[in-house]
Structure formats: C-alpha cells, structure tokens
C-alpha cells in the first residue's frame, strides 16, 4: 500500500478535477448532516425544556423523613421518631457530592390572622434559604430570608399567592405583619405562582419562615392541628375554668419530684423532614447511597440495625422523565439515520457513475503501475473526503438552521457538541460504507478493458 | 542477455462455449537498446501479444522472461510493480488526465513508484523530461490547451519519468497527422539512440515501421517474420521490405 498522504493527495486532485460533481455528491451529505444537527439541537432544546418542566414538579427531589417510634410494640407511624436535625441537613449539603442542596423543614398546621381575615394554610413551613432553590421557586416580589434570619430566629415570612389572596384582598402584603399562633411575622417576600402539585394540593397555599422561628417561636409540634382561638384562649382567658369538665386528666398528674426525676426533653432541634435536590435524576441512586451512609454515621447506628430515617424519591415522575427523554432520543436517532442513509446512497450512486465515467483513468493508472489496492483506497478516500467535507459544511448549515429556528420561531435550542463529533464520525463511516462498493468495483477493472473503454 | 525473451506463448480466450486461440505459440526475443516494430493486421493477435509483453496480461501457457524475471507466474501486484518501474506506456489516444497540468500528468507514474526519491526529485525529473520533449514552456497547460502532437509528447515524457527499461508504444501516431507523426517518431529514434532505451512500437502502419531497424510481423497468432534476432539484418535492409504486409 502507498502512503496514506500520497493516496489522499491523489484523491484530492481527482475531486478537484470535477468540482461540480464533487459539490453535488457532497450536497446529499450536507443536507443529511445539517438536518441531523438542526434536529438534535432543536430536539435537545425541547427535551431540556420538558426535563425542566418535570424537574419543577419535583422529579429531582429527595425527601428524608425520620423513622417510626415504637413504644412497647406500638408503632407511632412513619415520621414519629425524633431523629433528624437541621445539623443533619447542613451535613448532607456539605458532605454529599451528588446533591446540589439540602434544606430542613419544620411543618405545622395552624391559623394565620391578619386584621379581620384569617386562614389556615396548607403548608406552614420553617426552613432555610436553600428551600427555594430546591423547589426552584423564584420570588414575585420582595426578598427571601437569609441565613442570618435563620440564626436569629427573626420574625419574617414569605407568602404564597393563595395566602396573599386570602389574607391581603387588597394586595401589597410586603412589610405588613401577620399573626401565626399569636407570633407577629413580617412579610418580606411573595412567591410566584406554582399551581397544584401531582396530588392536587395547592402548592401556592404556603407560608415559609426560618425554621428556628417556626421551631422556637411559633410551634414545636408538627401535629398541632387545633383551633387556634381555643389554644390562644386557654392561655389568656382560661376556658378550662369556664368548662371544667372538658379538661379531665386521664393520667395521674406527675408530682414535682417525678417531674424533676424524669425531665421531658425541651426544644430538641428536630425537624420534620429534610428536602434534598439532586442535579439530575440519574444521580438519585448515588445520592441516596451517600445520604444513607452519612446519616447512619451521624446517628451512630451499628451495622445491622435498621435506619432511623426513610428516604423517599419521586420514582414515578423520574421514570416519566426518563421515558420522555428516551423517546425523544430514539425519535431523533431514527430521523438522523434515515437522512444519513439517503445521503449515503447519494454518495454511492454518484461514486458509481464516477467510476464508470473514469474507467479510462483507472485503466491508465493500473497500466502505469497502480495496484488494485491503490485504486481501492483512492476511491474510498475520495468518498470519505467528500463526506468529511459535507459533514463540516453540514454542521455549519445545521447550526445556522437551528439559529434561524431559535430567532424566528423562539424554540428552545441547545448546542450539542457530541452531535457534531458524532455526525463527523458518522459521515466518515458513511463514506467508508457507501464508497466501498464503487471503489471495489473500480479496483476490479481489467486495465486492458478499461483502457479501451469509450 | 535479452530484455524480452518469449518462448512458445499460447493465449486462449473463452468466448461462450468455444475457445479461441489468439496466440498459437509465439517465440521472440529483443535485446536491450533495440528499436523494434511489432506489425500485424487487426485480428492477428498483435494487441494480445502487446498486452502480454507489457505485463498487462498473462499467457495461457509458455514462458515470458522480462529483464530476467519470469512474468507469466507473477501476481497482479508484482506485475503492477514491473509495469511501473520498468515499462513506459504510450497510447494511441494519449490517455492524459483531463483538467490536470502537463507536469502533473508526467508525475502520475511516480505516485505509485515508491522508489525512495523525494517529491522534489520527481518534480525535477518531470520538468527535465518536459524540457527534452520541447514543452518546457507549457508545463502548466492542461491537455485541452495542447495540440495532439504536444499531448503525445507529454505522454512520452510521462512514460519516461520512472526510467523504464522498455518503452511500449501502441499506435503512437494513430491520432496524429503525418507531419506530427514524423516528429513523434523522430523523438522515439532520438531516445533510442541517445538514451539507449529499448523501444517497441506496435502498429499496422508501414511508415511507422519504417522508422525502426527491426520489424516483427505477426499474422494469425504466429510470428510470420522477424521473431529471432538473427533476422535483424534482413529486416533492417530497407523500408521497402516493410511494405509487403500492406
């Protein structure tokens, strides 16, 4: 075999001798590759938009709940044990590489009062600033609370759209004060509208405050679901005295000594849940492994003992996400293959014509000493050069096409470097596959016959 | 030692069910430095013999020693190498590559030579050859910009670029007018005399044959005249003898 550079030069010269035919041959590949690039970029843009939409629904979120508390064989249900702390959330955010953010959540359900209006929000949450990032939830106006608000248990809160509507019929809630369990909270921000979640719960019916404020000022319990006026009244007006029979002690009241001997834990900084966000749904299993290892270590759990927490993910949504992008990819691959096939057949067609047309040239080359292998490699290289050239131009045209679509139709576009690399590789393979038969045919010519060909 | 030594070559073509024997036992030898004409009417087996002598084809049986090498048992690639390094071809219809400069056309055989010379050395030699055939000022011209005689001279330069032992010319003047033919044939004679290149002209034209010192006639698949070297003197006696066939 000759050196590849020599054959390449020969091939390039041969292509230059017939520029129009070379250009027409390349056109098939140019169109094919341009279509692939544009398709992939538009497709990936749409795919990313769909992924973003689904991710907004919580596909990339993990929820960590405390495990069950069991007393004398009686289970208190999931989430009843007091094991998760905000320090756990901070440790997860710090030490687990596969996650992007973690935030603790302290929940309650209680009445909120503002002037003459009152309302019981679906979600009353104490958390850290990371919560909004995890939920991917921008503010409509105002500001979010910061870490200093959390540290100082400042009396500030952010309202969801539903609560603004219920508590501030006139609008303009910023800077105003609401009462939660008789604690005045200043409204510093308003969230954008998010709508209902998968279970049909109104996500906008939410009030968010620093978890310390929630824990130490507003409420320590997640299960408090009582009429707030009753609770408030009991401390101020003491309805128990008005209706003594309503507050009977079912258990013997502990004496002062007993209370001293068995002190109840006071203000243990436990949280009801920890929210974790993962950069992409494919990293969820890895994140679960890391979080499990970290929390078991932090909770001093011996190997073999069950975990005192549960990690939940939105498998259904993640699967939907996976299927959607898989479907998208398959569709694009199909379209790409078809257009490249068409381009390849075009190359083969014109190369066959070219071999017939250049029979005399092939005969001459063989007569003056070209071996069949030299002819074979020359024609294959011609096809590959055409395809590479077409591939390069195709990338440019495809890029231009997707840019045009972006600016004219405002479709989301995502640049795809792998698609470009792959399409160049594919165009070489197309040249190789579809150039082989014509090249083989050329190399099998009999020089005597070829020289006499008219 | 002979440059070409052919003994008892037979070439049979299979056409459908019947076998056609084109060469029926040809023997001839050519010494280095000779200028020989192979003459024969169409259908005489002249072209078949030329293809075998040019290592383009293999005989069905018989031996062909070219420059001491047995050709009839060589592989396709070995024969390609022999053609490239030891034989220069000149064709009736020139067979230059279109839209390619005269210089590039002359350089074409060096592409396949692998003789260890650099591209610059090849180029140098190609330019010298074009100079020798009188086209030193037309190196960048494409075939379409050259006359028939000029094209054939480019072809001759191309055939010489790899320093061949044998120059094989198949009807080299077939497409040229009588004046240009004369020029081209003179060039062959000059090359033969000055460079000591063995030249084999294949033609049916007696005036062409007249320019060589020895004529081998082939008729009906057999050497009719001039196959053995001893006959050189007889054939070279005068051009008049060459007109017999016509």
Band of pLDDT at residue A301, cut at 50, 70 and 90: confident
Q: Which residue matches tokens 């005489």?
A: B44
Band of pLDDT at residue A224, cut at 50, 70 and 90: very low
User: Residues of A11-37 as b/e, b for ≥16 C-beta within 10 angstroms?
Assistant: bebbbebbeebbeebbbbbbbbbbbbb
B232 within 8 A of B214, measured Cβ to Cβ: yes
Read off the tokens for A371.
């071996």
The verdict on a CB contact (< 8 Å) between B80 and A371 is yes
Q: Quick one: chain A helix, strand, coil %, rounded to 5? A: 55, 15, 30
The verdict on a CB contact (< 8 Å) between A367 and B85 is no
Read off the tokens for A237.
């007006």
Of B57, B77, B89, the CB nearest to A371: B77
Minimal C-alpha gap between B45 and chain A (Å): 14
The verdict on a CB contact (< 8 Å) between A448 and B51 is yes
Q: Which of A4, A354, A368 to mutate to test the interface with B (most CBs of B within 10 A)?
A: A368
Band of pLDDT at residue A240, cut at 50, 70 and 90: very low
pLDDT at A228: 41
The verdict on a CB contact (< 8 Å) between A448 and B112 is no
pLDDT at A425: 85
Minimal C-alpha gap between B211 and chain A (Å): 26
Residue A130 CA to residue B83 CA, distance in Å, equals: 81
Q: What is the pLDDT of residues B195-204, one digit of tens each?
A: 889 999 999 8
User: H or E stretch including A189?
Assistant: strand A183-191
The mean pLDDT of chain A is 82
Of A6, A17, A369, the CB nearest to B109: A369
The mean pLDDT of chain B is 88
A215 within 8 A of A126, measured Cβ to Cβ: yes
Is residue A333 predicted with pLDDT exceeding 90? no
Question: ∠ CA(B122), CA(B125), CA(B131), 5° rounding?
Answer: 140
Q: What is the mean pLDDT of residues B182-209?
A: 91
Half-sphere exposure of B189 (CA within 13 A, CB side): 13
Helix (H, G, I), strand (E, B) or coil at A18: coil
pLDDT at B236: 44
Q: Which residue matches tokens 């909770």?
A: A299
pLDDT at A436: 92
Q: What is the mean pLDDT of residues B5-25?
A: 91
Q: Which of B101, B112, B122 to mutate to test the interface with A (most CBs of A within 10 A)?
A: B112
pLDDT at A353: 87
For residue B151, list chain A residues with Cβ-Cβ distance below 8 A. none
Q: Which residue of B has its CA nearest to A444?
A: B76
Residue A360 CA to residue A152 CA, distance in Å, equals: 91
Residue B90 CA to residue B172 CA, distance in Å, equals: 6
Nearest to A22 by CA among A421, A431, A364: A431
Residue A347 CA to residue A29 CA, distance in Å, equals: 8
Q: Which residue of A has its CA nearest to B82?
A: A369
Q: What is the pLDDT of residues A183-212, one digit of tens each?
A: 999 999 999 988 887 678 888 999 999 998
Q: Which residue of A has its CA nearest to B98?
A: A17
Of B57, B85, B112, the CB nearest to A448: B57
B119 in contact with chain A, both atoms CB, cutoff 8 A:
no
A448 within 8 A of B56, measured Cβ to Cβ: yes
For residue A374, list chain B residues with Cβ-Cβ distance below 8 A. 112
For residue A363, list chain B residues with Cβ-Cβ distance below 8 A. 95
């Amino acid at each position: 075999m000759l050196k590849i550079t020599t054959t390449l030069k020969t091939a390039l010269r041969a292509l230059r001798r017939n520029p129009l035919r070379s250009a027409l041959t390349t056109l098939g590949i140019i169109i094919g590759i341009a279509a692939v690039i544009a398709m992939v970029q538009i497709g990936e843009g749409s795919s990313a938009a769909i992924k973003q939409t689904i991710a907004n629904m919580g596909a990339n979120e993990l929820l960590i709940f405390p495990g069950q508390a069991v007393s004398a064989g009686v289970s208190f249900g999931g989430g009843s044990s007091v094991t998760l702390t905000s320090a756990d959330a901070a440790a997860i955010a710090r030490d687990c590489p596969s996650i992007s953010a973690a935030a603790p959540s302290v929940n309650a359900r209680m009445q909120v009062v503002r002037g003459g209006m009152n309302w019981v929000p679906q979600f009353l949450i104490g958390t850290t600033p990371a919560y909004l990032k995890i939920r991917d939830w921008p503010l409509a106006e105002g500001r979010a609370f910061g870490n200093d608000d959390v540290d100082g248990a400042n009396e500030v809160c952010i309202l969801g759209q539903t609560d603004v509507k219920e508590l501030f019929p006139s609008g303009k809630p910023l800077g105003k004060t609401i009462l939660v369990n008789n604690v005045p909270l200043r409204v510093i921000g308003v969230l954008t509208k998010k709508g209902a979640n998968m279970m049909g719960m109104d996500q906008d019916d939410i009030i968010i405050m620093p978890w310390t404020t929630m824990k130490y000022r507003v409420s320590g319990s997640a299960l408090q679901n009582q009429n707030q006026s009753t609770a408030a009244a009991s401390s101020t007006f003491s309805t128990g005295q008005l209706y003594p029979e309503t507050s009977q002690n079912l258990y013997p009241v502990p004496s002062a000594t007993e209370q001293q001997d068995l002190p109840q834990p006071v203000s243990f900084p436990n949280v009801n849940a920890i929210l974790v966000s993962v950069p992409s749904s494919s990293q969820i299993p890895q994140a679960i492994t890391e979080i499990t290892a970290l929390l078991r270590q932090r909770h001093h759990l011996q190997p073999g003992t069950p975990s005192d927490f549960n990690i939940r993910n939105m498998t259904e949504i993640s699967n939907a996400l996976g299927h959607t992008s898989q479907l998208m990819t398959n569709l694009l691959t199909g379209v790409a293959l078809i257009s490249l096939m068409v381009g390849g057949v075009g190359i083969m067609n014109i190369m066959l014509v070219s071999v017939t047309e250049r029979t005399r040239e092939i005969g001459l080359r063989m007569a003056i000493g070209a071996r069949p292998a030299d002819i074979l490699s020359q024609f294959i290289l011609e096809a590959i050069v055409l395809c590479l050239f077409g591939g390069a131009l195709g990338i440019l045209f495809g890029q231009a096409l997707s840019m045009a679509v972006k600016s004219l139709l405002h479709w989301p576009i995502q640049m795809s470097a792998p698609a470009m690399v792959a399409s160049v590789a594919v165009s070489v393979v197309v040249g190789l596959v579809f150039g082989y038969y014509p090249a083989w045919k050329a190399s099998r010519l009999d020089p005597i016959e070829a020289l006499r060909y008219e | 030692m002979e440059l070409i030594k052919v003994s008892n070559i037979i070439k049979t073509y299979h056409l459908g069910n019947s076998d056609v024997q084109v060469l029926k036992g040809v023997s001839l030898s050519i010494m280095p430095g000779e200028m020989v004409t192979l003459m024969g009417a169409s259908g005489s087996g002249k072209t078949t013999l030329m293809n075998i002598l040019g290592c383009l084809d293999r005989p069905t049986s018989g031996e062909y020693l070219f420059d001491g090498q047995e050709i009839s048992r060589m592989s396709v690639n070995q024969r390609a190498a022999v053609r490239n390094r030891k034989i220069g071809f000149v064709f009736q219809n020139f067979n230059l590559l279109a839209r390619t400069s005269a210089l590039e056309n002359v350089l074409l055989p060096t592409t396949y030579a692998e003789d260890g010379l650099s591209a610059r050395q090849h180029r140098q030699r190609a330019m010298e050859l074009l100079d020798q055939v009188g086209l030193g000022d037309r190196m960048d011209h494409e075939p379409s910009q050259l006359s028939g005689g000029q094209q054939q001279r480019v072809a001759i330069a191309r055939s010489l670029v790899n320093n061949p032992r044998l120059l094989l010319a198949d009807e080299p003047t077939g497409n040229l007018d009588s004046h240009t033919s004369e020029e081209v044939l003179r060039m062959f004679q000059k090359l033969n005399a000055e460079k000591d290149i063995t030249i084999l002209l294949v033609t049916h034209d007696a005036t062409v044959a007249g320019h060589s010192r020895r004529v081998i006639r082939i008729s009906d698949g057999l050497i009719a005249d001039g196959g053995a070297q001893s006959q050189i003197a007889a054939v070279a006696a005068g051009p008049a003898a060459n007109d017999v066939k016509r």
